């Protein structure tokens, strides 16, 4: 029987995507399990999201990071804020780097403002549950999986809460012997050449660099205001989004367009973190007018 070559390519691609997706969801599940089993520090607002119903009311969550004096870490949120529905499970990323020449164990303390919203802020996975060791010079991206309980929408005392700030401070750990290694989140450097290949394979059906196809032209998208290419028929949601595309926003967009911009109309997402980073590295290299 003759089987066209193309069949093998498509089959291989499906298999690769399946495996990639499988690995990501697997590791998240493992991490979740790990956190539940270790139960470090008795964090009160830990939860299972699946049981919660998603409400219409939106809330904006802003992220703030601090490092205690003397801890040689850089620690930043990879998104300034996210807008989400009450009850909607959301994944955000923080980046930490050890700036010293020796391993350091840190522990993150967090707080939520306004304080009265704290009981509705539920984390499912968080680096803040553990003592975390970071190797000299190492850089990692740490996920936090959370939702805001729909109870916030029915509690009379929180009717005025439309913005919640989640703030983390990393301190030097007092129990370094209990540390687990942050290398589980280590990031390989982004590869723009691989990103160009991934772009051709997964984006170019809908996007060109210099003209609209099903989606808008993407040359110069890093640094461009979202939803701003003249003449392209954006969804009302993306047109009104108002932010500027940074690498972090692009990463969030590619991991879930409708999570970053509810109502957006791009019908695809990429669950593999490395692929997203490679594609964003490639998009950084394509300037407007190229
Ligand atoms: C099936 C079609 C389709 C595919 C595949 C697709 N996109 Fe899109 N993309 C769209 C549409 C449609 C929009 C406009 C969404 C809206 O208006 O809400 C869009 C919008 C965007 C935007 C926002 C641009 C702006 O001007 O604000 C970016 C960035 C983007 N896509 C990147 C990508 C990348 C990178 C890939 C590949 C990983 C990709 N897209 C794959 C259809 C697609």
Q: What is the pLDDT of residues 137-170, one digit of tens each?
A: 888 888 888 899 999 999 999 999 999 999 999 9
Of 183, 21, 174, which Cα lies nearest the Cα of 109? 174
* 14-61 per-position pLDDT tens digit: 344 444 443 333 333 333 333 333 333 223 355 544 455 777 889 999
**Tokens (6 digits) for 287:** 């300037």
Contact 151, 45 (CB under 8 A): no
* Residue of 172 and 124 predicted with greater confidence: 172
**93: pLDDT strictly greater than 50:** yes
**Residue 104's closest CA among 28, 20, 174, 162?**
174
Q: Is the pLDDT of residue 171 over 60?
A: yes
Give the list of residues 6+ apart from residue 220 with CB closer than 8 angstroms, or none.
286, 287, 288, 289, 290
pLDDT at 264: 96
pLDDT digits (tens, 9 = 90+) for 184-229: 877 667 888 999 999 999 999 999 999 999 999 999 999 999 999 9
Among 98, 105, 118, CA closest to 161: 118
C-beta 227 within 6 A of ligand 1: yes
Query: Does ligand 1 lie within 6 Å of residue 133's CB atom?
Result: no
Q: So what's the pLDDT on residue 60?
A: 94
User: For a pocket test of ligand 1, which of 216, 223, 224, 231 has the largest count of ligand atoms closer than 8 A to its C-beta?
Assistant: 216
Lowest-pLDDT range of 89-98, 196-205, 249-258, 261-270: 89-98
Residues 142, 92: Cα–Cα separation, whole Å? 8
CA-closest candidate to residue 103, choices 139, 137, 53, 78: 137
Residue whose CA lies nearest to ligand 1 atom number 28: 218
Mean residue pLDDT across the chain = 82
């Amino acid at each position: 029987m003759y089987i066209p070559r193309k069949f093998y390519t498509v089959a291989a691609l499906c298999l690769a995507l399946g495996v990639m997706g499988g690995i990501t969801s697997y590791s998240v599940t493992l991490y979740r399990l790990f956190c539940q089993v270790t139960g470090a520090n008795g964090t009160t607002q830990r939860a299972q999201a699946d049981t919660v119903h998603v409400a219409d009311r939106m809330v904006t969550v802003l992220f703030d990071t601090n490092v205690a004096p003397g801890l040689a870490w850089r620690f930043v949120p990879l998104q300034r804020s996210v807008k989400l529905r009450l009850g909607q499970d959301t994944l955000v990323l923080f980046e930490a780097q050890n700036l010293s020449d020796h391993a350091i164990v840190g522990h993150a303390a967090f707080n939520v403002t306004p304080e009265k919203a704290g009981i509705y802020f539920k984390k499912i996975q968080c680096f803040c549950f553990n003592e975390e060791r970071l190797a000299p010079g190492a850089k990692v991206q740490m996920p936090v999986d959370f939702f805001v309980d729909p109870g916030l929408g029915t509690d009379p005392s929180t009717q005025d809460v439309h913005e919640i700030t989640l703030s983390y401070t990393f301190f030097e750990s007092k129990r370094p012997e209990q540390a687990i290694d942050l290398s589980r989140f280590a990031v390989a450097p982004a590869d723009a050449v691989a990103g160009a290949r991934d772009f051709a394979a997964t984006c170019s059906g809908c996007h060109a660099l210099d003209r609209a196809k099903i989606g808008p032209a993407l040359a110069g998208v890093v640094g461009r205001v979202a939803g701003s290419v003249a003449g392209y028929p954006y969804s009302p949601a993306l047109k009104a989004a108002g932010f500027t595309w940074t690498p972090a926003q692009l990463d969030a967009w590619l991991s879930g367009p409708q999570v970053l911009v509810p109502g957006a109309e791009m019908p695809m997402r990429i669950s593999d973190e490395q692929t997203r980073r490679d594609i964003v590295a490639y998009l950084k290299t394509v300037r407007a007018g190229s």
